Structures are given as structure tokens and as C-alpha cells.
């Protein structure tokens, strides 16, 4: 047996002879043996020295062998240990082995066990080496797993480990952060697939890729990237870049990188680049991308079309290629300026096309810089102002012609500055102002105090950028009054700031005088018409002493209702006249029926019901400016179609007739009749409330109730002393002294 190198053995034995014998025998084969005679000495020596193997006798003074093993083992790991004893006690042997002994030797009388000691020593040392190697491997594995967990727990991407049975062994925190699932939610592959890919068709597709990777078509240890859309626990879909690694032990290591935001950003960038390209290629201005040296990198379609070149002919060429010679010095200066400032704004140059056609353009340019501020490329824009330049020249040629036209105009023309000073005045306004040299003077000095206020209000509106049309009166130096219709327009500079105003003054003095005369004639005719109408109604009502004054009463109440509903003064006049004439058809009804004191028979009622149609026939030949004829025909129609003569419904009945219907029933109910006493005003109000929306227009009923509640002034007729309507005599502020025939009306002349 080869001599072991520096193998030290401590033998704790209370028999000195036996101890020396073992020391001598093992010394021959190269082992260094140290001895101790009892447990206490052995423990002290072991703790004070360094031994590779420990022999312990079971029967010892102070501490027996098992106690020594326990004491030394409590302080740390023991070296390879062999229990040597004179008795073959199996209990001791088992206990020694449990406490860490590598072998158990029984002393025989002949000393044959001594020959076994070297082999036993090597055996227990081999066992210890194997044990220590296993422990080291386990420790290395533990450290490796700990390193993996530290790295995985702090990784910026999701990580999972799948066992060979396709259950998950591990999810890192980022996995749960991305998907919301814990390992309890999805303990195995099947539940992961069911939750992550709810669409069955898509799930089969993903499963096919996964099985392909699992079948090791992808080599062990090689990463295989895939991109799938995964449904998270919160229902959100995320785009995930998968990397699957097959490990030697049948496990799978999976990495999940959430690229949702990156994918969206890439898509947004792609769309942005597409929008830029669409804008660049379709913009009507001329666009160039240039290098910092002024070399054309790209050029848009509008520029190519105007210049007549193809893109290939210009890309890589300098900007000077498309500039006329006289513009080149300026272009070179602009490039130098652009390199310093990164900007050029509205610089006029001239470019030339392939066909020699020149174009005047305004050149502007910006710069795109990198993170260091260095210019990467420039974006140049040329706005073609060739046509504008031509227009400027044409405008200059026509300015004088315009001046001639302005001076020859039949209306006055003035141009004022912001302070209201006259800067330009044509001949006509000079005549109106009776001043041959008004330029430099304030316009308001030509007007009296009242009209200066009118002028000031409109000039203020002009300063706000608003145009106005208004009428003003000017008394010239000779004392002549001029009614002037003025159209004022603000004048703005290129920046849109109001700098003054233009005014056109049309003298409407003669028109106003003529209009006044016409208005006076119309008013006289209207009063004559109203008087005639009311006189006619009086003649009609005189046939029936019981309803005398009814037409005027209906007209007055209808007028008040229309006023409450917001009708114009002219339309209210029409409604008043319709109220006066609404029963004119009763001229066709026999007087004995009209004055009958009792209730009417069905036949007599049918004769009464012809009066709307009869009234229509009487009035249809008169060209009223209002729907008087139709209102007379329809004033007994009802909203539900229950009225007469034609059973009209809803909007088939004109609004004027709907007003007369309510006014007619209220006036009739609140006055005495031969066959009944007058109802109270409350009864009348309740009646129209009950019929509101069914037989009477709801808007008209509401207005009538407002009038009857005293919120609108009107005067009813006094044809019945037993009337229950309040004898309202308040007159609106708009009323005036009326002729005898119209004194019942409360809102003045119509």
C-alpha cells in the first residue's frame, strides 16, 4: 500500500499497551498516530490538534466512546471516525454509526483486527471524501439556485421554469407583474394555455409551436424566440416576446419579454414616418431634405413636377443645381447662416426648371439635430410666389385705375386711420361733407353731438374687427341734412391687426322722405280699414242683441293671447281683425235662430254651424295681408278633429284659428245667454284647462290662462252687464288714444 501523505490519527484508548501496538503497527505503513488514555484527554487533544482520522474505544474512563463522539460532534463536523471496542454490542455499533462513525471494529484476541485497520482507514476516508464531494455539490447547486433566484427575482422580464411533467416550478415576480397570474392560478401548462390564449384557434397555433420546440427540433440550450399575444388576468391583451430554452433534465426555461409598448411605439413611429412621407410627397409646397453641406437627399413630387426633373436626377446634387445664377451668392450665404442657426425664414430666391422656366420662391429651412446638437439633415421648404409677384405688378398697374373709379363713384368713400382721421376721401364724400379738403381731419367733427355718438359706437366695432351697416344724419356746412346709409369695413395689415376702416356713404335722404310719406298713408289706410271692419262687426252683432259686442270681446282677448305668445305687432293686427270678423258668416243664419231664447234643435244647430263656411265665402274675395279668411273658416275646428266645418286636426288648423277658438269659448262662457246664465271666470279657465291638448292648442291655453290671471292687460267689451269676466281697463304702455271704433283694443293701433 502506498504510504499516505501526512495522515494523522488520534487513538483514544485506556489500554497503553494496545495503544502502543496500534501506534507501532500503523506507523510502519506511514500513518502518524497520537494517543490519549481517557475521554477527557482525548477531547482536549482533538480540540488542540488537527487529525485526519479518529479511533475511539467504547469503554473509557470519564467519558465512554459514544459520549466522546457526541461531545466532539456538537462542536462541528468530525473527521472519518472508527469505533474500536472489545465487545460486539450491536446497539453500540448502530448508535455509533448514527452519530457519524464510518465503521465499527471489534478487537479480537489474536490481534487480527490490526491488519484490517489500514484498509478500514482508507474506506472511511473514501466515504468521507464522497460525502464531502456530495455536500460540496449540493452547496454549489444551492448557491447556483440562489444565484438564479436572485437574478430571476430581479430580472426585468418574466421567467418561468416548467418541469418535465409540464407543471410550473417557478414564476418570478416580473411574470406576475406582467400577466397578473401566480403559480396557484396556473400550476401547469394546460391551465396556462387556457387562460393565456382564450381563442381556441389561436391556442392551437401556439400549442403547435410549443410542441415543436419541446420535441427538440430546437437544440438543447438554444433559445428560440416567438412572439404571441397573451390575455392577462385583468383581461388586457399584451404582446409578448417568448424565448424558450430546453434544459438537459427535460425542464423548460421560458423568458417572457413584454414588448407591447415597444410594439406600439414602433407602430406609432412607422405611422409617423408614413404620415411624414405622405405629407412630404403630397404637400403642394416644394420640400427638400438636404445634408449639412446643402446636398439634396430627397425631394417631393410638387418640386419635381414644377422643375421637370426625376428624383434620380437631383438626389445627390447640390441645391445650386436648381437656382438661377444670380441667386447663387445669396443661397451660399443662407447655407452658412443655416449651419450656424439651424433656421432660415422666408428668403426670396429664384429657381429654374429643366425647361428653363423661372420661379420666384420664398425659402425657409429648419434643422434636425442629434443628441449632441450636431445637424444631421435639413428640411427646406420653397413656397412658390411667382403668381403672387405677377399679381403685385398687376395690382400696381390697376391702382391708378381704381383711384379713377373711386373718385367717379356715386357714393361717398372714406378711408380712416385708427384714430378716425380721414386719410382718403373721394369727390362724392367731399360734396356730402361740403368740404373740398377733408383729408387730415377727424370725421366726427362733421357731425352733431348725437350723431357723433352713433359714429363712435360703429368705429369702436370697427376697431374690434367687425363690419357694420348703420344710418347716420349729417348736417353740412350749408345746413342741409343728409340721411346717410353707411357700410363700414375694418382694414387689417398682413398680420391681421386692424389699422383703419373703409366707409361707403350712400345718401338716402330722398328715400327716407318718400318712405315717411308712404308710411303715413299706410297708417291712415289701416285705421280706415280697422274702423270699417269694426263697424261691419257692429252691424252683424246688432242682429243678435244677446251677443252684441262678442266679436270685439273675442278680438281683444285673442289680441292679448297673441301678444303673450310673442307675435309681431303686424301679425297681432291680423289676429285682431280676424277676431272682429270671425262671426260674419252669421249673416247667413236666420235671425229668429240667433235670438231664440231656448236651446236649439239639431236642425237649428246645423244652420248655426254653416256660419264659418258662410263667413269664408263672404271674405274670400278680399285680399287681406293676413290669414283672416282661413282663421274665420277654421275658428270652430278642434285639435282632435271634433270641430266643424271640415273636422281638421292638429297642425291642419292654422295657429290664428286656434287662438280664436280659445278666445271665442272663453268670451261666450263668461257672458249671459238666453238659455243659460254666465259662467264664472274660474269655470271658463277650468274648461280650457280640461280641453288643453285635446281640443285646444296647449300653447294657446297657457297664454290665455296667463292673460286671465291678470299678467297681461286687455279690455273686454261691455255688451253684457252680467259678464263674469273682470272689467279690465288697464291699457298697455304701447296703447294710444283710439278712435271710437277701436276704443275696445288695448294694445293701440294695429
User: Is residue 370 located within the same domain as residue 332?
Assistant: yes
User: Could you tell me the three cell numbers for 573?
Assistant: 293686427
Average pLDDT over residues 576-582: 90
**Confidence bin at 402 (pLDDT 50/70/90):** low
Q: What's the pLDDT tens digit per position in 522-549? A: 566 566 566 656 666 666 656 555 555 7
Flag whether pLDDT at 261 surpasses 80. yes
Residue 278 domain flag: no
Q: What's the sign of the alpha-carbon dihedral 371, 372, 376, 381?
A: positive
CA–CA dist 134, 631 (Å, integer): 116
Residue 388 domain flag: no
pLDDT of residue 740: 27
Backbone conformation region of residue 161, classed left if phi is above 0, alpha if psi is from -120 to 50, else beta: beta
CA–CA dist 500, 496 (Å, integer): 12
Average pLDDT over residues 24-43: 85
Q: Which residue has the cell 274665420?
A: 632
Q: CA-based diameter of the chain, in Å? A: 171
User: Is residue 311 located within the same domain as residue 354?
Assistant: yes
User: Is residue 465 located within the same domain as residue 602?
Assistant: no
Q: What's the pLDDT tens digit per position in 328-346? A: 999 889 888 988 888 989 9
Count of helices and strands (H, E) across the chain: 25, 20
Task: Name the burial class of residue 516, with classes exposed (0-12), middle (13-18) and buried (19+) by CB atoms within 10 angstroms of its CB.
Answer: exposed
User: Is residue 582 located within the same domain as residue 702?
Assistant: yes
pLDDT of residue 233: 94
Flag whether pLDDT at 398 surpasses 50. yes
**Percent of the chain at pLDDT exceeding 90:** 24
pLDDT of residue 633: 95
User: Is residue 524 located within the same domain as residue 605?
Assistant: yes
Flag whether pLDDT at 604 surpasses 50. yes
pLDDT of residue 627: 93
What is the residue-averaged pLDDT of the chain? 81
Residue 601 domain flag: yes
User: Is residue 631 located within the same domain as residue 722?
Assistant: yes
Q: Which residue has the cell 350712400?
A: 506
Residue 269 domain flag: no
User: Is residue 114 located within the same domain as residue 166?
Assistant: no
Give the structural domain span for 359: 283-383
User: Is residue 529 located within the same domain as residue 670?
Assistant: yes
Flag whether pLDDT at 158 surpasses 70. yes
Mean pLDDT check: name the lowest of 224-233, 487-496, 706-715: 706-715
**Domain boundary residue among 507, 538, 567?**
507
Residue 143 domain flag: no
Beta bridge partners of 481: 475
User: Is residue 415 located within the same domain as residue 364?
Assistant: no
**Domain boundary residue among 447, 473, 507?**
507
Flag whether pLDDT at 642 surpasses 70. yes
Q: What's the pLDDT tens digit per position in 408-430? A: 667 888 888 888 898 888 888 88
**Contact at 8 Å (CB) between 691 and 640?**
no
Question: Residue 186 maps to which CATH number?
Answer: 3.30.450.20
User: Is residue 43 located within the same domain as residue 100?
Assistant: yes
**Confidence bin at 113 (pLDDT 50/70/90):** confident
Flag whether pLDDT at 718 surpasses 50. no
Flag whether pLDDT at 746 surpasses 60. no
Residue 141 domain flag: no
Which pTM value belongs to this model?
A: 0.36
pLDDT of residue 729: 30
Q: What's the pLDDT tens digit per position in 291-327? A: 988 899 999 998 999 899 999 999 999 888 899 999 9
Whether the link from the prior residue into 645 is cis, omega within 30° of 0, is yes
**Confidence bin at 194 (pLDDT 50/70/90):** very high
Question: Residue 80 maps to which CATH number?
Answer: 3.40.50.2300
Residue 396 domain flag: no
pLDDT of residue 454: 87
**Domain boundary residue among 368, 383, 398?**
383
H helices of 286-382, where? Answer: 301-307, 311-314, 328-341
User: Is residue 582 located within the same domain as residue 723?
Assistant: yes
Question: Residue 695 maps to which CATH number?
Answer: 1.10.3210.10
User: Is residue 254 located within the same domain as residue 302?
Assistant: no
Average pLDDT over residues 606-635: 90
CA–CA dist 306, 359 (Å, integer): 9
pLDDT of residue 649: 94
Residue 109 domain flag: yes
What is the total count of domains within the chain? Answer: 5
Amino acid at each position: 500500500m502506498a504510504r499516505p501523505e501526512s495522515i494523522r490519527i488520534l487513538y483514544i484508548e485506556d489500554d497503553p499497551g494496545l495503544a502502543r501496538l496500534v501506534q507501532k503497527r500503523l506507523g510502519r505503513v506511514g500513518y502518524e498516530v497520537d494517543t490519549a488514555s481517557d475521554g477527557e484527554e482525548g477531547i482536549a487533544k482533538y480540540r488542540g490538534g488537527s487529525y485526519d482520522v479518529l479511533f475511539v474505544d467504547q469503554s473509557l474512563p470519564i467519558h465512554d466512546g459514544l459520549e466522546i463522539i457526541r461531545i466532539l460532534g456538537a462542536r462541528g463536523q468530525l473527521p472519518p471516525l472508527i469505533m474500536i471496542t472489545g465487545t460486539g454490542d450491536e446497539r453500540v455499533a448502530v448508535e455509533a454509526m448514527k452519530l457519524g462513525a464510518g465503521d465499527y471494529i471489534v478487537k479480537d484476541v489474536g490481534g487480527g483486527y490490526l491488519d484490517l485497520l489500514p484498509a478500514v482507514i482508507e474506506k472511511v476516508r473514501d466515504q468521507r471524501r464522497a460525502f464531502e464531494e456530495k455536500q460540496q455539490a449540493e452547496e454549489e447547486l444551492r448557491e447556483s439556485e440562489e444565484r438564479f433566484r436572485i437574478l430571476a427575482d430581479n430580472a426585468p422580464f418574466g421567467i418561468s421554469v416548467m418541469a418535465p411533467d409540464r407543471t410550473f416550478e417557478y414564476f418570478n415576480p416580473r411574470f406576475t407583474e406582467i400577466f397578473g397570474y401566480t403559480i396557484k392560478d396556473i400550476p401547469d401548462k394546460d391551465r396556462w394555455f387556457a387562460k393565456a390564449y382564450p381563442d381556441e384557434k389561436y391556442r392551437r397555433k401556439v400549442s403547435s409551436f410549443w410542441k415543436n420546440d419541446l420535441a427538440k427540433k430546437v437544440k438543447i440550450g438554444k433559445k428560440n424566440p416567438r412572439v404571441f399575444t397573451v390575455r392577462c388576468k385583468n383581461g388586457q391583451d399584451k404582446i409578448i416576446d417568448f424565448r424558450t430554452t430546453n434544459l438537459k433534465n427535460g425542464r423548460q426555461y421560458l423568458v417572457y419579454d413584454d414588448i407591447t409598448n415597444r410594439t406600439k411605439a414602433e407602430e406609432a413611429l412607422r405611422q409617423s414616418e408614413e404620415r411624414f412621407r405622405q405629407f412630404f410627397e403630397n404637400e403642394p409646397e416644394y420640400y427638400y431634405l438636404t445634408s449639412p453641406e446643402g446636398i439634396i437627399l430627397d425631394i417631393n413630387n410638387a418640386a419635381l413636377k414644377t422643375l421637370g426633373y426625376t428624383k434620380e436626377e437631383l438626389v445627390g446634387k447640390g441645391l445650386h443645381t436648381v437656382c438661377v445664377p444670380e441667386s447663387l451668392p445669396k443661397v451660399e450665404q443662407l447655407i452658412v447662416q443655416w449651419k450656424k442657426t439651424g433656421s432660415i425664414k422666408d428668403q426670396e430666391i429664384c429657381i429654374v426648371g429643366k425647361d428653363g422656366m423661372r420661379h420666384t420662391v420664398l425659402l425657409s429651412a429648419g434643422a434636425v439635430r442629434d443628441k449632441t446638437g450636431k445637424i444631421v439633415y435639413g428640411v427646406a421648404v420653397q413656397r412658390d410666389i411667382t403668381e403672387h409677384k405677377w399679381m403685385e405688378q398687376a395690382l400696381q398697374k390697376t391702382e391708378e385705375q381704381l383711384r379713377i373709379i373711386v373718385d367717379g363713384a356715386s357714393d361717398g368713400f372714406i378711408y380712416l386711420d385708427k384714430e378716425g382721421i380721414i386719410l382718403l376721401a373721394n369727390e362724392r364724400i367731399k360734396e356730402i361733407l361740403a368740404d373740398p379738403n377733408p383729408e387730415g381731419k377727424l370725421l366726427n367733427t362733421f357731425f352733431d353731438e348725437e350723431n357723433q355718438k352713433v359714429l363712435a359706437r360703429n368705429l369702436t366695432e370697427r376697431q374690434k374687427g367687425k363690419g357694420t351697416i348703420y344710418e347716420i344724419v349729417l348736417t353740412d356746412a350749408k345746413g342741409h341734412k343728409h340721411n346717410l346709409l353707411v357700410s363700414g369695413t375694418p382694414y387689417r395689415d398682413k398680420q391681421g391687426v386692424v389699422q383703419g376702416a373703409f366707409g361707403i356713404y350712400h345718401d338716402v335722404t330722398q328715400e327716407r322722405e318718400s318712405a315717411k310719406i308712404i308710411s303715413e298713408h299706410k297708417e291712415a289706410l289701416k285705421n280706415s280699414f280697422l274702423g270699417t271692419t269694426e263697424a261691419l262687426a257692429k252691424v252683424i252683432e246688432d242682429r243678435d242683441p244677446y251677443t252684441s259686442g262678442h266679436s270685439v270681446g273675442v278680438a281683444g282677448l285673442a289680441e292679448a293671447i297673441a301678444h303673450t305668445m310673442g307675435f309681431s305687432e303686424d301679425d297681432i293686427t291680423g289676429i285682431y281683425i280676424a277676431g272682429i270678423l270671425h262671426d260674419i258668416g252669421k249673416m247667413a243664419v236666420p235671425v229668429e235662430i240667433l235670438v231664440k231664447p231656448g236651446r236649439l234643435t239639431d236642425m237649428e244647430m246645423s244652420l248655426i254651424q254653416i256660419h264659418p263656411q258662410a263667413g269664408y265665402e263672404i271674405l274670400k274675395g278680399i285680399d287681406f295681408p293676413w290669414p283672416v279668411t282661413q282663421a274665420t273658416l277654421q275658428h270652430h275646428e278642434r285639435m282632435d278633429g271634433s270641430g266643424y266645418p271640415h273636422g281638421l286636426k292638429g297642425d291642419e288648423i292654422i295657429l290664428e284659428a286656434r287662438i280664436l277658438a280659445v278666445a271665442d269659448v272663453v268670451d261666450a262662457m263668461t257672458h249671459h245667454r238666453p238659455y243659460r246664465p254666465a259662467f264664472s271666470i274660474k269655470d271658463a279657465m277650468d274648461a280650457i284647462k280640461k280641453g288643453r291638448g285635446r281640443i285646444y292648442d296647449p300653447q294657446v291655453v297657457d297664454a290665455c290662462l296667463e292673460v286671465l290671471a291678470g299678467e297681461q292687460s286687455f279690455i273686454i267689451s261691455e255688451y253684457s252687464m252680467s259678464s263674469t269676466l273682470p272689467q279690465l281697463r288697464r291699457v298697455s304702455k304701447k296703447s294710444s288714444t283710439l278712435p271710437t271704433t277701436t276704443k275696445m283694443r288695448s294694445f293701440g293701433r294695429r
